[in-house]
Amino acid sequence: MNRIISIFRRDFKSSVREYILLYMMIGPLLLALGFSMIIPNTESASLQFALEASLDQSIVDEFNKYGSVFLFESKEEIINRVNGMDDIAGVMSEKEGSLFIILEGNETHDTKVVPQKIIREINGVNDASISYKIRDIGVKRSPISIIGSAALMITAIILGGIIIGFNIIEEKESKTIQALNVTMMNKMEFIIGKSLLGFVLPVAQVYIILWLLKIDDVNKLMILVIVLSGTLTASVLGFLIGVISDNQIAGVMNMKMIYLATAASIVGAMVIPESSQFFLYILPTYWIFVGFRDIVSNTATWHQIIINLSWILGMTFILFMLIKKRIIRGLT
């Protein structure tokens, strides 16, 4: 165990001192940070209203029927909130008690129009020119948010495997693997020690990504199950990159090939009709992506997650058996 931890610590230390690996480690988090600024956040998929706290409870209740209501003590606080990055309509009262709406100007159509409709309802004004049917279809998150977060999480997992691969390439290039082979360290310790970084890093990154994207109402255990099974796939791919690449340039080339397959899984799952997606089933990355997508959109069931898990583990096992000899030979 001591040796496994030592290998893990060495790899971590070495990775943060190697720019290409450092970028891979922080890349998904930077992307998530950037993504969080350009996608609507979790709440903005439904309508949001910033109301004065002094308004009648009946008014607040009426707005609550159509979206999320946030109460503020002063008009300044409401204005500040409306000026925030996401879509939210501010509703304030004038001295005589009439309600008025303030907007930043770049809100979506619904955010602009629905509050008007609600105020008319409250005031008993029935404007025949406006006809609205508002129906909750259960979608709480925008498709961009779902696809984007799932893609970022799978990226973090795959990059974890690639970091393993590059650390193996380093061992091969510097021939340090020879020096380790004349110590008590056995191959299994080496493999586990090398893999640890590919497990620990994505687990941490995935939860940080969810936090950065403000996706907190998802089943965290389901996420963990998919992340852990995904890291197994990524580790096997990482070892494959490590043993078949003689240097970092070859490693980058092989990394691109692996990421091409990952991108194919993501794009395939998005654009191909579900009935025709069967030929993507052999790609574990397809099941990882679909798993994340369903969890983030809150449509995943444990039954579905177990099916995903079975495919991921099954396909990874087959892949490992196919390349096992090559990996063991490459580590000698």
Partner 1 sequence: MLNVKGLYHSYSKDEHYAVQDMTFQVEKGEIFGFLGPSGAGKSTTQSILFGLLELQRGEVSIDGMSVKKLSDDFFNMIGVSFESPNVYKNLTGLENLKFYSKMFNVATEKPEELLKEVGLGKDMNKKASQYSKGMLQRLVFARSMINNPKIWFLDEPTSGLDPETASRIKAIIKRKKDQGTTIFLTTHNMNIADELCDRVAFVNDGKIILIDTPQKLKLRYGERSVKVEFMDQEKLRTEFISLVDKQGQSQLQKLVETGRIVTMHSQEASLEEIFISVVGRGLI
Nearer to partner 1 by C-beta: 145 or 245? 245
Nearer to partner 1 by C-beta: 108 or 186? 186
What are the CA-CA distances from residue 159 to residues 66, 153, 205 (Å)?
41, 10, 11
Between CA 115 and CA 22 the distance in angstroms is 47
Q: Which amino acid is at 74?
A: S
Q: Which two structure tokens, joined as six digits, stand for 286?
A: 């397809």
Minimum Å gap between C-beta 246 and partner 1 is: 15
Minimum Å gap between C-beta 225 and partner 1 is: 33
Q: What count of other Cβ atoms lies within 10 Å of the Cβ of residue 62?
A: 16
Q: Which amino acid is at 313?
A: L
- 72: which strand partners? 52
Between CA 229 and CA 160 the distance in angstroms is 13
CA-closest candidate to residue 329, choices 194, 187, 196 = 187
* Alpha carbon 4 to its chain's center: 29
Minimum Å gap between C-beta 19 and partner 1 is: 11
Minimum Å gap between C-beta 180 and partner 1 is: 7
Nearer to partner 1 by C-beta: 37 or 184? 184
Nearer to partner 1 by C-beta: 10 or 140? 10
Nearer to partner 1 by C-beta: 189 or 294? 189
Minimum Å gap between C-beta 248 and partner 1 is: 12
Minimum Å gap between C-beta 18 and partner 1 is: 6
Nearer to partner 1 by C-beta: 177 or 228? 177
Dihedral Cα 323, 328, 330, 332, nearest 10 deg: -170
Instruction: Quote the strand ranges of the chain, DSSP E.
Output: 47-52, 67-72, 89-93, 99-102
Contacts to partner 1 by CB under 8 A: 2-3, 6, 10, 13-14, 17-18, 170, 174-176, 178-185
